[in-house]
């Protein structure tokens, strides 16, 4: 009899935290209780980001933001941050790709 064991990191990815289970069961907004980032895309020339922690890279072709749980990469041409606060920001320019890293 052979049993295949998954790695510890795989098990951790498959398990939800108590906080996540509570939020899911009560149908609460994940962004409000877990600090998830909200990315709103308006056409191909505007991106609104809420709940980010910081700016890691800022060039005309790439903007990388740190979220609570991941990094968000916005790629394109002529990108610029038109405004930002501690909680949200607006990015303008020709957006070609958004990736979660």
Q: Over the stretch 6-23, which tens digit does the pLDDT of each residue have?
A: 444 444 445 667 656 655
CATH 2.60.40.2000 fits 36-100, yes or no: yes
In tens digits, what is the pLDDT along the chain, a chain of 101 residues? 444 444 444 444 456 676 566 556 655 555 555 567 889 999 999 999 998 989 999 999 999 999 888 899 999 999 999 999 988 999 999 999 999 98
As a whole number of angstroms, the longest Cα–Cα distance in the chain is: 61
Q: Are 56 and 71 in contact (CB under 8 A)?
A: yes
Q: Where are the domains of the chain?
A: 36-100
């Amino acid at each position: 009899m052979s049993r295949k064991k998954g790695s510890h990191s795989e098990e951790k990815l498959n398990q939800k935290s108590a906080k996540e289970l509570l939020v899911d069961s009560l149908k609460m907004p994940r962004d409000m209780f877990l600090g998830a980032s909200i990315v709103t895309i308006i056409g191909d020339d505007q991106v609104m980001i809420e709940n980010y922690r910081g700016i890691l890279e800022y060039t005309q072709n790439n903007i990388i933001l740190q979220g609570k749980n991941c990094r968000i990469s916005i790629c394109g041409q002529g990108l610029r941050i038109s405004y930002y606060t501690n909680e949200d920001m607006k990015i303008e320019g020709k957006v070609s790709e958004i990736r979660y890293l």
